[in-house]
Structure 1
Amino acid sequence: MEAIHTQGIWIAEALQQITKSQDKLWLIATHIGDPKAAFLLVFPLTYFLNRRTGFAVVWVAAISEWLNLVFKWMLFGERPFWWIGESRLFEKNPPKLQQFASTCETGPGSPSGHAMVTAAVWWVMASSLGSLLYSYTRSMLLSAVPYVLYLLGLVAVGFSRIFILAHFPHQVIAGSLTGFILGVVLSRQVPEGRPLVFFVSSSIGLLLSALLIHSGLTWLGFDLSWSIALAKKWCSHSEWIRLDTAPFSSLTRDCGAILGLGLAQYWKPGGYTLPCAPRALCLALCSMALYHVHRLPLPIQPQPLFYFLFFIKFTIVPQVVMIYVPGFVHLLTHKNKND
């Protein structure tokens, strides 16, 4: 792996040197590809265009991110920003590389979570839009456009992760391929219409199984906190280390989102049926609401409290999109009609 990692460092250096004037575009791409963007950005956008697709986005995002966490625990992948120092191969010829605020993630690096979740979630959107375009136009050319955009977006996210030194190229490729397969498989088995007990059981099952895997690996002698120590050691700015990038943050996010899906469906089976204009208003209001939910500060100590509140935050997200905001808009428009 040393040769692969070394080659990855030189690729990252070349990418930074050639495209250093486009660093803001790479940072935007990495933010769009962040797994939490699937819940906070992609989900509301797709939900108000097509209910099933929006539902599928949350389900696919949660399952693929959970699997990514398990893979990372088992594969022990390095990250470029700490491997450069730990390997001690570049003491005589150090690469000219820059870290960014998004660089210093604390989990293991393989496979790339951004690439894996993006590939899975965006496949749901691309396949849904492609099918819709074909049903209306019967044009293979037009229906292929979403898939081309899917590929271009995935490449952009992958390059952005290499550019900011969060991942090696092979980790991005592995994440993209795995996410594509998951997107194809999971999008065919969306549990829309299942009872609340299914989602409660799924949320608890994902949480307990992850904790069991973590405990089992720890019992076998593996130190699963090794990456956190390295991230803190080699990150150029200590304030760039954030608890919401820790492995258990993604776990609580996924479990909370799945529970939130079940609760939203339980409170209002079938959702609200709204015309185009009210749905556009819902999207605008949801964007503002989720922005404030995301920005809500959480206490980082004690850590169990942080993870519990993080779980609650993402349990609320599907309910905001599927119940609270559409319910408010439905009430508002229904009242105006009566007046």
Structure 2
Amino acid sequence: MEAVHRHGVWLAESLQRGPLGGPGYERLWQTLTHMGDPKASMLLLFPLAYTVHGRTGVAVLWVAALSEWLNLVLKWMLFGERPFWWISESGLYLQNPPEVQQFASTCETGPGSPSGHAMVTAAVWWVVVFNTASYLYRRTHSLLLSSLLYILYVVMLAAVGLSRVFILAHFPHQVLAGSVTGFILGVVLSRRVPHGRPLVFFVCTSVALMAGALLLHAGLSAVGVDLSWSIALARKRCARPEWVRMDTAPFSSLTRDCGALLGLGLARYWAPPGGWALPRAPRALSLALASLALYHVNRLALPVRPPGLFYGLFLVKFIMVPQVVMVLAPGLVHMLTHRDGKKRD
């Protein structure tokens, strides 16, 4: 693996020192890595997809949660170094260190293999691209137009993957493994979306995912595997302490996924059958209100001590995401437009 890691460091250095690595492009690379964040699938893509097509929106949230949960399990089992700490820990660059730098998004605390950004992006965007391409082909019968969406899908995966290498968060082989695994998950999971399932299904699924991860964690710890090794290395080798955030810790991913699925079940239980029947303009208003609300929900500062309180509040935060998108925002818009209609009558 040493040769693979050295090649990854060389690629990261080439990207940072190349024509697309200057100060003017750093913001672009960081924007691309934020677009691939699993959190972005729930806070940005899910509201947009649900507003355009409710079933696709549910599929996006379902696939995002399951693929990120599986990514967490794989990371616990496969470990995987990250470039930003491996460069120093390997001891290979004492005489000639690479000319690379870290960024605010670099210092993630989980193991590196496979890349969660690449895996979740590949899975979730496959759902969107496949559904959109199928719809366009039914309407236009144009293979060219449908094919363009799949080309954009590949380009986006490549851009997100390179951004992860650029900021020293992943090695190229971790990005490739995440992309391939995510694509397979997207194809498989998109065919098994629980559109009409009752609340108890989502409650049981959320509990099962939480219990399964905790049992795996306890089992690995019992046989002497230190699953906090990556957190210690991230804190040790991160260029700035404030860049090490609890919301990148493995248990944050677990609570986010379980919270999103539990919230999805609650939202489907509270929303009217078939969702709110809103015309195009009110749906756009609902999306704007939901996006604004989720922006402020995401910005809520949570206490990091004790950790149990942080993870509990983090769970609640993502339980709220489907409520805002599927119940509160469209319900408010429906109430306002319904009243306006009554007044005009």
Say which of 91, 94, 101 aligns to 2:94. 91
Deviation at 1:93, TM superposition (A): 1.0
Matches within 5 A, 1:122-141: 122-141=125-144
Find the partner of 1:283 among 283, 287, 290.
287
SS at match of 2:193: coil
Structure 1 residues 112-261: aligned runs within 5 Å: 112-261=115-264
Worse overlay, 15-24 or 133-142: 15-24
Query: Following TM superposition, where does structure 1 have runs of at least 4 consecutive aligned residues deviating by more than 4 angstroms?
Result: none
> Quick check: 1:78 aligned with 2:84?
no
What's the CA shift string for 1:28-51, capped at 9, x where partnerless?
Answer: 000010000000000001001000
> Residue 154 of structure 1: SS of its match in structure 2?
helix
Q: Secondary structure at the match of 1:42?
A: helix
- The 3-state SS of whatever aligns with 1:20 is coil
Q: Which amino acid aligns with 2:63?
A: V
Query: Match of 1:277, SS?
Result: helix
1:329 alignment partner in structure 2: 333
Unaligned ranges ≥5, structure 2: none
Q: Among 308, 313, 319, which residue is 2:317 paired with?
A: 313
Instruction: String of CA shifts for 1:81-115, please: whole Å, max 9, x gaps.
Output: 00000000011111000100000000000000000
Which residue, 12, 24, 28 being the options, matches 2:27? 24
Q: Which runs of 5+ in 1 are unaligned?
A: none
Measure the CA separation in 1 of the matches of 2:333 and 2:260: 23
- Equivalenced residue count is 339
Looking at structure 2, the residues matched to 147 and 293 of structure 1 have their Cα atoms a distance apart, in angstroms, of 33
The superposition leaves residues 310-330 of structure 1 with CA deviations (integer Å, 9 ceiling, x where unpaired) of 000000000100000000000
Identity of aligned residues (%): 67
Equivalent residue number for residue 105 of structure 2:
102
- Deviations, residues 141-171 of structure 1 (Å, cap 9, x unaligned): 0111221111111111000000000000000
Q: Counterparts of 1:257-268 in structure 2 under 5 Å?
A: 257-268=260-271
TM-score of the pair, normalised by structure 2: 0.98
Query: Letter of the aligned partner of 2:287 in structure 1?
Result: L
Question: Which piece of structure 1 moves more, 123-132 or 140-149?
Answer: 140-149
* SS at 1:48 equivalent: helix
Which amino acid is 1:16 matched to? Q
CA distance in 2, matches of 1:155, 1:281: 33
SS in 2 for 1:41: helix
Displacement of 1:71 in angstroms is 0.3
2:52 aligns to what SS in structure 1? coil
| 1:186-219 deviation line (CA, Å, top 9, x unaligned) | 0000001101000000000000000000000001
Q: Distance in 1 between matches of 2:157 and 2:2?
A: 26
User: Taking structure 1 as the reference length, what is the TM-score of the superposition?
Assistant: 0.99
Code of the aligned partner of 2:170:
H
